[in-house]
Amino acid sequence: MNHKSGLMYSFAAIAAITVLSQTDDISAASTHTVRAGDTLWSISQQHNVSLSTLKSVNNLSSDRIAIGQTLKLSSGPVTLTATSTTTQVKRTTTANLNLRAGAGTTHSVLLTIPKGQTLTPLKTSGAWSQVTYNGKTGWVHNDFLSQVSAAPKPVVPAAPKPVATVVTPSAATTSKTTANLNLRASKSTSARVLVTIPKGQTVTVLKVEGTWSHIKYGSQTGFVANTYLTKASASASTSAPTAPSAPAQPAQVKEESINVSYVTTANLNVRQGAGVGFALVTTVPNGTTVTATKQNGSWVYVTYNGKSGYVSTGFLKQTTTTPSAPVAPNLGDAGAGNTDVDYIVNTPSLNVRASATTSSSVIGSVTAGQTLRVVQTANGWHQIYIGNTTGFVSASFVKQVPKGTAATPTWVSGSFDSHTFFTANPAAIRAQANETSPIVGSTLRGGLLNVIGETATHYRLAEGFVAKSFVTQVNGKSAQATRLATIAVAQRFVGTPYVWASSSPVNGGFDCSGIIFYAFNQAGVNIPRTNVANYWGGAYFGPQLPKSFTPQAGDLVFFENTYTAGPSHMGIMINADTFIHAGTSGLGYNQISKEPYWQSRLIGYKRP
C-alpha cells in the first residue's frame, strides 16, 4: 500500500536499517533538514532528542518550522578538519561504501563507491571524510577506509615501534556520551548492538583503539565510536600497554523485600537490573496494577505477564492497603451470625491467600457454590475462615444472596476474564443454549467474546448463547492481554521494510494488513488473510466504531483514500493517539493528533 508515511523511528530502529553492507552508521546526526510532513515532535523522535533541546539549540519560541530549514540537534559544534595540503593521504574503500550529501546517515546517498577504490579525503568531520568520486563530492564513513601503503622506506634499527593505535589509560578514566550511542559487541558498525547508551551518561573507558573506544557501561562492556564521547584524560603509552586499574565500584544499594501494589502511570519499561543501562525485558502498559516484591533504591522488582524485572518507582502510584489483622466474627459474618445474606463463591475455583494481595502465597481454595464464613471485608478482599485459620479471597468472585437461598449457580459469572475466547469464523448467537433456538445475532471472525457463563455445550454472552464447538479458548490470557500481545509482536519488527502483499517476516517485511494478520495469529487469534477493505467492512474483529470513539491500546485503526479510494490502510493503536503500522518507509509509529495526513483520512476503529 504505497502511500505517504512520515514514520518516526526510535534511534535503535534507524540504526538497524541496512543499505548494501551496512557501511555507514552513526548514533545521531548533527543537523536535520526539514522535509514535507516533518513536525518538531517527529524530528525529536527520529533523532531521540527532546523537544526542549531542539527549541533551545535552535532558538525556537514555538513548534512552527519550515520546509528546508536546517535544525541543529545538539549545542555542540561540528568540527571540520582539512587534511594536510603538503601530504594528502590516500585511502582505499574496504567495502561498498555510500557517498552521502552530508556527514551523517540521515543525508541522501549520492552514489555507492565499490570496494577497493582509492580516494583522497578533502576534509574530515568526526568519523566522516569528504571525498570526490566520479565527479561527485560527498561524505563517507572513516570506518570503511584503509590507508594506502606508502613506498617502503629504509628500515633503521631503532627502539621498538611505539604502540600508537591503542591507548590504555593508566587508571580507569571516564567520559560522557554526547548523543544516544550504540554499545557494540566489536569494533564495527555491523556488529551486534548490546544496548543504546542515553546521551549524557558517564562510561568507563578501558581502552582506545583507533576511532573506537572499549568501554564499560553498567554491567556491560563493548565498543563505541569516539566521536560521541567527551575527551578522556588519558595519554598513549609508547611502551607495552599496562592493564587499567579496576573501575571504582559504586556504593551498593541494599536490596530489601517488600510487598506493595502499584499502578503504572505511563507505559513502563521492565529491565533486567535496577538501572537504565540494563537490557529491556518487556513493557508494562499504562494503568496496569503490579505487585513489587523487592526494592533497590528507586527501582522495584515486579512480574508482568510471566516476565520479571525492575521498574522505576518514578512512574508508579502505590495502591496497596491491606485489611487489618483477623478479628473475631462480627454481625457481617455470613454463616456465623448474619441473618440477612450468604456469601457464595461464583467461580469454578477461587484461591485463598495468606494476605490480601495476589502475590501472597495460596493456602487453599474454595469452589463454585460454596458458602463462605466471612470475618471482615476491606479494599476488595474478604477475610474468611478456612479450616483452623483464616485467609483472604477476592470479593470480585463472591456474590451476596438472601439468607437461605444459596444453591449451586446455574451460571458461573466473572470466571472468564483470565482467558480469551474468539470465533475464527462467524457463528450464530442464539436466544437459548440449544441449536434449535432462534438466532439473535452473529459473532465475527477474530472477534474476542465477552463470556459471562457456560453450560456443557454453550458459552453465554450478554447477547445470547454460542455453541462451544465454534469457540476457541486461549488459556491464561485475558482479552486485553491478547490485544496487547499483538502490539508486542508488531514492535519486534519496527524498522523492517514495507513489502507489498507480505504477511510474514520471511519475506523481509510486511504490508499494512499483513502485519495485522501476522500479529493476531502469533497472539493466538486465528484470522484469515484479507485486505483492509474486508477487515473494515466485513465480518472481522469487533463492530465498526466512529472517529469520535476514544481508542485504547490494542484497538485497530482504519484510514481511507491513501493509495486508493476507500478503506486502504490500518494499524494497531498503542495508546489513545499513537498507532503502529506498516507504511511505505517501513514498520513504525505515527501520531494521529499531530499529523493532518492521518487526521483527514481516519475512518474509525474496531475493538477485537
Domain membership of residue 594 (yes or no) is yes
Question: Do 447 and 571 have their domain in common?
Answer: no
pLDDT value, residue 600: 93
pLDDT in tens, 68-92: 788 887 655 444 444 433 346 788 8
Per the model's pLDDT, the better-predicted residue between 558 and 18 turns out to be: 558
SS3 (DSSP) at 13 = helix
DSSP state of 257: E
pLDDT at 248 over 50: no
Question: Do 209 and 267 have their domain in common?
Answer: no
Question: Do 86 and 210 have their domain in common?
Answer: no
pLDDT value, residue 387: 67
Last residue of a domain, one of 189, 213, 228: 228
pLDDT value, residue 531: 92
Domain membership of residue 366 (yes or no) is no
pLDDT value, residue 23: 35
Per the model's pLDDT, the better-predicted residue between 141 and 496 turns out to be: 496
pLDDT value, residue 558: 96
Average pLDDT on 422-446 reads 84
pLDDT in tens, 580-601: 999 888 899 999 998 999 999 9
Q: CA-based angle 45:51:52, to the nearest 5? A: 150
Average pLDDT on 121-140 reads 83
Average pLDDT on 109-129 reads 82
Question: Do 468 and 484 have their domain in common?
Answer: no
Question: Do 463 and 488 have their domain in common?
Answer: no
Question: Do 484 and 593 have their domain in common?
Answer: yes
pLDDT at 136 over 60: yes
- What are the residues facing 587 on neighbouring strands? 582
Domain membership of residue 160 (yes or no) is no
What residues make up the domain containing 187? 166-228
Contact assessment for residue 596 and residue 36, using Cβ atoms and an 8 Å cutoff = no
Which residue intervals of 208-357 are DSSP H helices? none
Domain membership of residue 519 (yes or no) is yes
Question: Do 443 and 498 have their domain in common?
Answer: no
Rounded Cα distance between 169 and 172, Å, is 6
Please give the torsion angle defined by the CA atoms of residues 161, 166, 170 and 174, in that order, rounded to the nearest 10 degrees: 160
- 107 C-beta neighbours (distance < 10 Å), count: 20
The amino acid occupying position 342 is: D
pLDDT in tens, 381-395: 888 877 667 788 888
Question: Do 187 and 266 have their domain in common?
Answer: no
The amino acid occupying position 319 is: T
pLDDT in tens, 193-220: 777 787 788 888 888 887 788 888 887 8
Domain membership of residue 303 (yes or no) is yes
- 117 C-beta neighbours (distance < 10 Å), count: 14
Please state whether 298 falls in left (phi above 0), alpha (psi between -120 and 50) or beta.
Answer: alpha
Please state whether 330 falls in left (phi above 0), alpha (psi between -120 and 50) or beta.
Answer: beta
Length in residues, the chain? 608
pLDDT value, residue 172: 60
pLDDT value, residue 91: 83
Domain membership of residue 566 (yes or no) is yes
The values of phi and psi at residue 215, to 5°, are: -130, 170
pLDDT value, residue 517: 93
pLDDT value, residue 321: 40
Last residue of a domain, one of 440, 455, 474: 474
The values of phi and psi at residue 41, to 5°, are: -70, -45
pLDDT in tens, 155-202: 445 444 444 345 555 456 888 887 777 788 888 776 777 777 877 888
Question: Do 310 and 427 have their domain in common?
Answer: no
Question: Which three cell numbers, joined as nine digits, stand for 149?
Answer: 601503503
Question: Do 456 and 556 have their domain in common?
Answer: no
Per the model's pLDDT, the better-predicted residue between 324 and 439 turns out to be: 439
CATH code (residue 285): 2.30.30.40
Question: Which three cell numbers, joined as nine digits, stand for 433?
Answer: 443454549
pLDDT value, residue 315: 77
Question: Do 20 and 141 have their domain in common?
Answer: yes
Contact assessment for residue 62 and residue 142, using Cβ atoms and an 8 Å cutoff = no
pLDDT in tens, 483-539: 888 998 999 999 899 999 899 999 999 999 999 999 999 988 888 899 999 999 887
Average pLDDT on 552-561 reads 92
pLDDT at 336 over 50: no
Average pLDDT on 274-278 reads 75
- 269 C-beta neighbours (distance < 10 Å), count: 17
pLDDT in tens, 31-62: 777 776 677 777 776 666 777 777 878 888 77
Quote the mean pLDDT of the chain: 75
Domain membership of residue 18 (yes or no) is yes
pLDDT at 310 over 80: yes
Q: How many domains does the chain have?
A: 5
Contact assessment for residue 588 and residue 494, using Cβ atoms and an 8 Å cutoff = yes
Question: Do 486 and 470 have their domain in common?
Answer: no
Average pLDDT on 367-385 reads 79
Q: Give the list of residues 6+ apart from residue 129 with CB closer than 8 angstroms, or none.
A: 91, 119, 121, 122, 123, 139, 140, 141, 142, 145
Average pLDDT on 550-565 reads 91
Domain membership of residue 211 (yes or no) is yes
Rounded Cα distance between 305 and 285, Å, is 11
Count each helix (H run) and each strand (E run) in the chain, helices first.
Answer: 7, 48
Contact assessment for residue 223 and residue 214, using Cβ atoms and an 8 Å cutoff = yes
